[in-house]
Amino acid sequence: MYDLIVIGGGPAGLAGACAAWEAGLRRILIVERDRELGGILNQCIHNGFGLHYFKEELTGPEYAGRFIEMLRDTGVEVRLDTMVLEVTDQRKVHMVGKDTGYRVEEAKSILLAMGCRERTRGAIAIPGTRPAGIFTAGAAQRYVNMEGWLPGKRVVILGSGDIGLIMARRMTLEGAKVLACVEVMPYSGGLNRNIVQCLHDYDIPLYLSHTVTDIRGVNRVEQVVVSQVDDRRQPIPGTEMVFDCDTLLLSVGLIPENELTRQAGIAIDPRTNGAVVWENMETSLPGVFASGNVAHVHDLVDFVTAESQRAGTAAARYVLEGEAAEGDALEIVNGDGVSYTVPQHVRPGRVEKACDLFFRVNRVCGPSRIKVTSGDKQIAAFSRDYLAPGEMEHILLPRKLLDGASETLCVSIEEVESE
C-alpha cells in the first residue's frame, strides 16, 4: 500500500511528489509512461521556463532536470516505461510495463498528473485530401528536437498557440521555410514574446482572422489554401491564398488527457475538460487529486509547478490527517467575460490563509476590473491593465473574505474607461 501514487512524471507529477515528500509522506510512487522523467519538457528545448519559480530563464530540459535532481534526494520510487491502464474508485491502480510487468497497486491517495494532448485535424474538420505532412506542432517538435529529423521544408502553421510559434522558429533555424502562421481568431493565442521572437524575428507573416480551407496533395501535402474568415469565423469566398508547401503544422489547442479520470467515475468540468476540483486540487473522488495540464491547460510551467505543489501537500494532509470534514462549500460561478475557473468549488474551512483562483477570460479586454461577488455582495475586486484568453489569470482570495460569502462566488470582468 502506497501513501501516494502519482500518475505521470512530467512537471506536475514531479512537483507533486516532491511536495508530498516534503509534507511527510514516505511511500510515494511515480508511474511514468516514457523511458525518462520530465514529460513534454524534454522536447521543449527553448528557453523561458522558470522565471517565476527559479527567477531565471531555463530551457525545458533544464527545468525538468532541476526537479529530477530534487527527487533524487527523496525516497520517492519511480517506475519508468510503465503505463497506467486503470484507476478504480477504490484507489487501485492497474499498470503495465516492459520491465515492471502487470501490477495492481493500492494507494491511500492518488495524484492525477497525466498532462494533455493536442487537438488534431479531425477535431477541426479541415477539408481536403489526407496526405502525409500534416503534423501537430508537438509531434513535429519531438521529431526535430529529440529524434533529429526535420519533418518538412516548406511549412504553413495553423494556429498561433505557443507551440506553433515556437515551432515556426525551430523549423526556420533548422533550415525550413515557414511561409505563414494562420490564426482563425482576431488575436493570437500565444504570448507576445513568442510572436516577436518566433515570427517577427524571422519575417514570418501572421494572418489573423484566417484559416485553412483546403489541403491539396495526394501522397504528401502540396498546397494549403488559406481564407479570411468573417466575425462568425466562416470563410469569406474570394479571399483564398494558395501556399505551395509540403507541411502543415497544427497548433489548434490542447485537451487535458482524462480517460483514466472518466473511467474512475470522477466528475469532469466540460469547460476545462479536466476534473472538477476543490481548493486543494482534490477531485470528486476523495483522496484523488489532479494538477497541471490534466486539470486545465496552463501556459506557464511555473504555474503547473505551484499548483502541483499545493496538490501534493494536500494529498499528504489527506493521508496524514484524514478526510476533510464536511463544511460549507462555495460553488464558483463564471460571470461575464470568464470562460472557466479552477478550482470550481471552495471549502473556506480548508483554506489556510488564502485560496488561489485561476481563470481565463473569453475575450481580449483593456483596463478591467475583476469582480468577485457572492449573491449581491461584492467580496473582492482586482484591477488589470490588460486581459486576454491566451494568458491565464490568477487572483488570491484571502480566507477572511471567503468567510463573508455564502453558496456561490461569481467571478466576472468589467472593462473600465482608461484614464
Partner 1 sequence: MYDVLIIGCGIVGAATAFELSKYQLKVGIVERENDVANGTTKANSAIIHAGYDPMPGSLMARLNVRGSALARELCAQLDVPYLPCGSLVLGFSTEDEVLLKELFRRGTQNGVPGLALLTGDEARALEPNLSPAVTAALHAPSAAICSPWEYCLALAETAVRNGAQLHLETAVTGLTPTADGWRVETSRGVLDARYVVNAAGLDAQAVHEMAAPSSFTIHPSRGEYFLLDKSEGDRVGRVIFQCPSRVGKGVLVAPTVHGNLIVGPNAEPVEGDDTATTAGGLAYVRQTALRSVPSVEFRASIRNFAGVRASTDREDFIIEEAAPHFLDLAGICSPGLSAAPAIGEYAVELLGQAGLALERKADFTASRKRVRFRELPPEEKARLVAEQPAYGRVICRCETVTEGEILDALSGPIPPRSVDGVKRRAGAGLGRCQGGFCGPRVLELLAREQGRSPGDIPQDKAGSWLLACETKGGHADV
Partner 2 sequence: MKELICIVCPKGCRLKVDEERDYAVTGNSCPRGAEYGRAELTHPTRVLTSTVRCVGGAHPRCPVKTNGPIPKGDIFPAMALLDGVTLTVPVRTGQVVVKNVLGTGVDFVAARDL
Which residues would be at the binding site for partner 1 (CB under 8 A)?
33, 81, 83, 85, 94, 96-104, 117-118, 120-123, 125, 127-133, 136, 138-139, 142-144, 147-154, 174-177, 213, 215-216, 218-220, 235, 246, 259
Choosing among partner 2, partner 1, none, which partner's interface includes residue 62 (Cβ < 5 to 8 Å by kind)?
Answer: partner 2
Choosing among partner 1, partner 2, none, which partner's interface includes residue 85 (Cβ < 5 to 8 Å by kind)?
Answer: partner 1
Site string for partner 2, 125-164 (x = CB under 8 A): --------------------xxxx----------------
Of the pair 173, 381, the CB lying nearest partner 2 is at 173
Other CB atoms within a 10 A radius of the CB of residue 99 amount to: 8
Q: Which of 6, 12, 14, 42 binds partner 2 (CB under 8 A)?
A: 42
| 342: Cβ contacts below 8 Å, ≥ 6 apart | 272, 274, 277, 295, 296, 357, 358, 359
Q: Which of 23, 27, 54, 65 binds partner 2 (CB under 8 A)?
A: 65
Q: Which of 23, 61, 228, 334 binds partner 2 (CB under 8 A)?
A: 61
| Contact flag: residue 56 with partner 2 (CB under 8 A) | no
Measured CA distances, 122 to 23, 130, 213, 335 (Å) = 44, 11, 13, 32
Minimum CB distance to partner 2, residue 359 (Å): 15
Q: What's the N-to-C CA distance of the chain in angstroms?
A: 60
Of the pair 104, 173, the CB lying nearest partner 2 is at 173
Choosing among partner 1, partner 2, none, which partner's interface includes residue 193 (Cβ < 5 to 8 Å by kind)?
Answer: partner 2
Minimum CB distance to partner 2, residue 142 (Å): 10
- 272, 295 Cβ separation under 8 angstroms: yes
Handedness of CA 277, 254, 234, 168 (dihedral sign): positive
* Interatomic CA distance for residues 223 and 209, integer angstroms: 20
Choosing among partner 2, partner 1, none, which partner's interface includes residue 65 (Cβ < 5 to 8 Å by kind)?
Answer: partner 2
Unique residue bearing C-alpha cell 468567510: 403
What residues from 359 to 418 belong to the interface with partner 2 (CB under 8 A)? 385-386, 388, 391
* Interatomic CA distance for residues 31 and 55, integer angstroms: 29
Minimum CB distance to partner 1, residue 288 (Å): 20
| Contact flag: residue 12 with partner 2 (CB under 8 A) | no
Cell matching residue 39 = 514529460
Of the pair 62, 222, the CB lying nearest partner 2 is at 62
* Interatomic CA distance for residues 51 and 193, integer angstroms: 13
Q: Which of 52, 106, 192, 240 binds partner 2 (CB under 8 A)?
A: 192
3-class secondary structure, 235: strand
- 340, 359 Cβ separation under 8 angstroms: yes
By the 10 Å C-beta count (0-12 exposed, 13-18 middle, 19+ buried), 292 is classed as: buried
3-class secondary structure, 70: helix
Cell matching residue 243 = 501556399
Choosing among partner 2, partner 1, none, which partner's interface includes residue 81 (Cβ < 5 to 8 Å by kind)?
Answer: partner 1
DSSP letter string, 307-360: HHHHHHHHHHHHHHH-SPPP---EEEEE-TTEEEEESSEE-GGG-SSEEEEEEE
Choosing among partner 1, partner 2, none, which partner's interface includes residue 200 (Cβ < 5 to 8 Å by kind)?
Answer: partner 2
Of the pair 164, 343, the CB lying nearest partner 2 is at 164
Other CB atoms within a 10 A radius of the CB of residue 236 amount to: 13
Other CB atoms within a 10 A radius of the CB of residue 129 amount to: 15
Of the pair 56, 147, the CB lying nearest partner 1 is at 147
Minimum CB distance to partner 2, residue 146 (Å): 5
Minimum CB distance to partner 1, residue 264 (Å): 15
What residues from 201 to 260 belong to the interface with partner 2 (CB under 8 A)? 201
Minimum CB distance to partner 1, residue 77 (Å): 18
Q: Which residues bind partner 2 (CB under 8 A)?
A: 35-36, 42, 45-47, 57, 59-62, 64-65, 145-148, 173-174, 191-193, 195-197, 200-201, 385-386, 388, 391
